[in-house]
Amino acid sequence: MTEAITATGLVKRFGKVTALDGLDLHVATGEVHGFLGPNGAGKTTTIRILLGLSRHNGGAVQLLGGNPWTEATELHKRLAYVPGDVTLWPALTGGEVIDLLGRLRGGLDPRRKAELLERFQLDPRKKGRTYSKGNRQKVGLIAALSSDVELLILDEPTSGLDPLMEEVFREVILEEKRRGDRTVLLSSHILSEVEALCDRLTIIRDGRTIETGTLTDMRHLTRTTIQAELAGPPDGLATLAGVHDFQLDHDRVRFDVDTDALEPALQKLVKVGVRSLVSQPPSLEELFLRQYQKDER
Amino acid sequence: MTGAGRLVRLILRRDRIIMPVWAVLLGLVPAGYVASFEGLFPTDAERIDYARLSATNTGFVTLYGPLHGSSLGELVAWRAGFLPVLAGLCALLTVIRHTRADEEAGRTELIGAAAVGRHAQLAAAVLTTCAAGLLMGVVLTAAMVGQGLPAAGSLAFGAEMTLSVFVFAGVGAVAAQLTSGARGARSIALTVLAAAFVLRVGGDTSAVGDGSLRWMSWLSPIGWVQHLFPYGVNDWWPALLALAFTVVTVAVAGRLQSRRDLGVGQLPARLGPASAPAGLSSPFGLAWRLHRGMLVAWTIGFALLGLIFGGVGASVLDIAAGNQGLSDVFTRLGGSDALVDSYFAGIASIVGLIAACYGVQTTLRMRDEEQTGHTEAVLTTSVSRYTWAGTNLFFALLGPAVVLAVEGLATSLTYPDGDLGEILGGVLVQLPAVWVLAGVAVLAFGLVPRLSAVAWAPPAMCLLVLLVGQTLQLDQWFLDISPFTHVPKLPGGDLSALPLVSLTVVAAALTAVGVTGLRRRNVPE
């Protein structure tokens, strides 16, 4: 599979501050790739390098097969970008900005624009200075999504959107995904959004990649929470390798178990006798928290 | 007004360096004039001679205002006649910075949600600015008395500057209520300042001639404060006019603020087109949309300047004809043609410097665009940095050419006796010098974007050279700092190509280095 974005060992320093410290990011063509990390982790810095706005100090980066710094202008014809905080020219209307950005990118589809205006419920006749944060964000999204491009780079694109509009955003991205030829890099810290949309994800922290893979891959690395009502005492379960946070209250047990220790743990439970069983797969939230805690240790 | 005290402290904290600098510096500049005049004209006779010549020199009267006496104090106060304009400029910028600019950036919302009264921010901005004006007046009065000048005149001199600050703090306060953007508010307030200056120039230069338009000075707050005539008549009643104007403007600003919502101006926001016109589809189309307002405004301003300067030029001849002593002097200098020529040549360098301010302002608009994130939006499309910079610089470099040409044409309308080619040539030869100053701004923007504002230092330096240079007979190296010194003095002087070509080459080099710097750095930086 070809890669739309390949960054290896990316380093970016601002004076004495190291913003990116050997970051790796691999985005395959045609996938929706989640890019996760806490505030200040380096998501926006990475995106700026991909867009040729900043120059990296070390490592290698390729975007759509080209050099994002030297071939910026050519590459930008093939991508669209939505920043986390869209700013508009105060005297231009939303509609004018959408058209302008689309034309500067090499053309936009007026029917697609009309459709998106309708779905996002945006009045394009208002002046830039009068839009709220959420509406400015819609202008950026519509401008990007109306262009027929290979790659969408979205940096926390739904910040400021209400839940209904977030839902519209998800639908639109899922439609793009079904087309199969568009690559999307979605930086976010809204986990439900990433969970719903992304094929694969990369988690970064302090300018370094700490995890990358599919959601399923990552769940293998995590723990399932088991709650059960037992017929007898669960001897030996608490000390079983891979079982954590074991709690026993009369005949009820609650514990977390590593994915690879799931089978022996379940066999133990069956041996004792199970009256009821609830198992919770790890959510992305937990995955996220665990990664960060692991990293802090 | 609740919370105004705390907001005053916030303003003092934010402006702790810049505010004392302008307040004290403008207060101290005249002290330098005292020493210079004493050195240049040690005897009364020499001073009287100089005063008589200066009082009828329209170039001087244009820049500094009327001169009615020949005492040292009167000469110094007259020579400082452009300082009220600068004091007013500082005042209106400060008030807008702490009112509308904060509001536009959303900081007022944060403050307004705290236990702070509706008018607290406006009151704090006006009070602090007026306090700076008082400081300026006190420093000036003390410096003058310290130099041995009469106390009553020094007090009036100090009051002249303080009142300029008061008046334009009021103008800034009203302007801040009118538009929803700080840029628009600044434009309105600057237009009022420019109008006040132009009215004063019109009235004062007319007074040198037949006096038919001298009433124009009385329409100008700058005219009022200059009519205090420190060390001469020490007339205090124009001060009441200035104070009343301040009180009324601040009250109007307060009323306007009560009637509007936070974040909006007086004009309701109207709906615009739902899609972009065909013209708005290229980087150039965008640059035209961004720069056209300024271009139109500056063109109108320069047309007015041209009309006034042309009209004054006509009266220069009358003056020479009516004054035997002067006529003799000018005959020796080469006749009345030489007088008119030197007038237009002098005006041309003033006009050139103003056009340079337009060039620098337009260049620095790129920094504004960068900081607001607009540049990022454009550069992530298929527009290269060179194209983006080029389309903006097109207006920064050719805009001044347009306004200078318009000024020359307007001048020849009100001075039909002059040769259009000579008058136009006189202002257009300023262009290479204008480009040098714009080039410095490109350099700063490309290499040290965070310090872009230093691009205002060269125009300020050139203004200083213009204000204190020639009349005080300073060393040539000091005059040479200003690129305008090197421009051929036209009409009248020799049109030599070398300085024009050299200045153009320097400007091109500065611009090229700046744009290369922009290509190599992070955006935004």
Q: Do A104 and B522 touch (CB under 8 A)?
A: no
Residues of A in contact with B276 (CB under 8 A): 95-100, 103
- The CATH 3.30.70.260 domain(s) of chain A lie at 223-281
Do A155 and A82 touch, CB atoms closer than 8 A? yes
- Report the residue from A76, A93, A104 with minimal CB separation from B273: A93
Lowest mean pLDDT among B49-58, B242-251, B511-520: B49-58
User: What mean pLDDT is reported for chain B?
Assistant: 88
Q: Do A96 and B271 touch (CB under 8 A)?
A: no
Q: For residue B95, give how far its alpha carbon lies from the nearest alpha carbon of chain A (Å).
A: 22
- pLDDT tops 80 at residue B270: no
Q: H-helix or E-strand containing B162?
A: helix B151-178
Torsion sign, CA atoms A201, A205, A207, A210: negative
- pLDDT tops 80 at residue B112: no
Residue B525 DSSP SS3:
coil
- Report the residue from B181, B273, B283 with minimal CB separation from A104: B283
Q: Six-digit token pair at A128?
A: 């830039």
- pLDDT tops 60 at residue B231: yes
Q: Six-digit token pair at A86?
A: 């869209």
Do B30 and B77 touch, CB atoms closer than 8 A? yes
Question: Minimal CA–CA distance to B205: which of B332, B355, B66?
Answer: B66
B285 in contact with A, Cβ within 8 Å: yes
- Report the residue from A54, A76, A89 with minimal CB separation from B380: A76
Do A186 and A158 touch, CB atoms closer than 8 A? no
- Report the residue from B374, B379, B523 with minimal CB separation from A89: B374
| Portion 332-351 of B in contact with A at CB < 8 A | none
Q: Do B272 and A129 touch (CB under 8 A)?
A: no
B105 in contact with A, Cβ within 8 Å: no
pLDDT confidence band for B470 (50 / 70 / 90): low
Residue count (chain B): 525
Cα–Cα distance measured from residue B204 to residue B215, given in angstroms and rounded to the nearest whole number: 9
Chain A and chain B share a number of CB contacts under 8 A equal to 113
- pLDDT tops 70 at residue B268: no
Q: Which residue has the tokens 């300047």?
A: B305
| Portion 134-163 of A in contact with B at CB < 8 A | 140
| Portion 27-86 of B in contact with A at CB < 8 A | none
- pLDDT tops 70 at residue B20: yes
Q: For residue B284, give how far its alpha carbon lies from the nearest alpha carbon of chain A (Å).
A: 11
List per-residue pLDDT tens for chain A, 297 residues long: 589 999 999 999 998 999 999 999 999 999 999 999 888 889 999 999 999 999 999 999 999 999 999 999 999 999 999 999 999 998 899 999 999 999 999 889 999 999 999 999 999 999 988 899 999 999 999 999 999 899 999 999 998 999 999 999 999 999 999 988 899 999 987 778 888 899 999 999 889 998 899 887 777 667 788 999 988 888 888 888 888 888 888 889 999 888 788 888 888 888 888 999 998 877 667 777 776 666 555
Q: What string of DSSP letters covers B394-455?
A: HHHHHHHHHHHHHHHHHHHHH-TTS-HHHHHHHHHTTHHHHHHHHHHHHHHHHH-GGGGGGG
Burial bucket for residue A296 (CB in 10 Å: 0-12, 13-18, 19+): exposed
In the predicted model, what is the mean pLDDT of residues B199-228? 87
Determine the residue among A97, A100, A125, A131 to mutate to test chain B binding: the one whose Cβ has the most chain B Cβ atoms within 10 Å. A100
ipTM over 0.85: no
Q: Do B272 and A83 touch (CB under 8 A)?
A: no
A128 in contact with B, Cβ within 8 Å: no
Closest-CA residue in chain B for A99? Answer: B276
Q: For the domain bounded by A3-218, which CATH number is listed?
A: 3.40.50.300
Q: Give residue A284's pLDDT.
A: 67
Q: Give residue B416's pLDDT.
A: 83
Cα–Cα distance measured from residue B238 to residue A295, given in angstroms and rounded to the nearest whole number: 73
Strand partners for A12: A20
B297 in contact with A, Cβ within 8 Å: no
Determine the residue among B381, B384, B519 to mutate to test chain A binding: the one whose Cβ has the most chain A Cβ atoms within 10 Å. B381
A103 in contact with B, Cβ within 8 Å: yes
A293 in contact with B, Cβ within 8 Å: no
The CA-based angle B472-B474-B480, given to 5 degrees, is 130
Q: For residue B373, give how far its alpha carbon lies from the nearest alpha carbon of chain A (Å).
A: 6
pLDDT confidence band for B269 (50 / 70 / 90): low
Lowest mean pLDDT among B268-277, B362-371, B467-476: B467-476
Strand partners for A32: A184
In the predicted model, what is the mean pLDDT of residues B197-216? 83
What A276-280 contacts at long range (C-beta under 8 Å, 24+ apart), as own/partner pairs, is: A276/A228, A276/A229, A277/A226, A277/A227, A277/A228, A277/A229, A278/A226, A278/A227, A278/A228, A279/A224, A279/A225, A279/A226, A279/A227, A280/A224, A280/A225, A280/A227
B381 in contact with A, Cβ within 8 Å: yes
B389 in contact with A, Cβ within 8 Å: no
Please state which CATH class domain A223-281 belongs to.
alpha beta
Strand partners for A93: A127
Closest-CA residue in chain B for A13? Answer: B522
In the predicted model, what is the mean pLDDT of residues B203-227? 86
A101 in contact with B, Cβ within 8 Å: yes
**Highest averaged pLDDT of the listed ranges B208-212, B371-375, B487-491:** B371-375
B282 in contact with A, Cβ within 8 Å: yes
Question: Minimal CA–CA distance to A25: which of A245, A185, A242?
Answer: A185
In the predicted model, what is the mean pLDDT of residues B209-233? 88
Cα–Cα distance measured from residue B36 to residue B52, given in angstroms and rounded to the nearest whole number: 18
- Report the residue from A55, A127, A130 with minimal CB separation from B522: A55
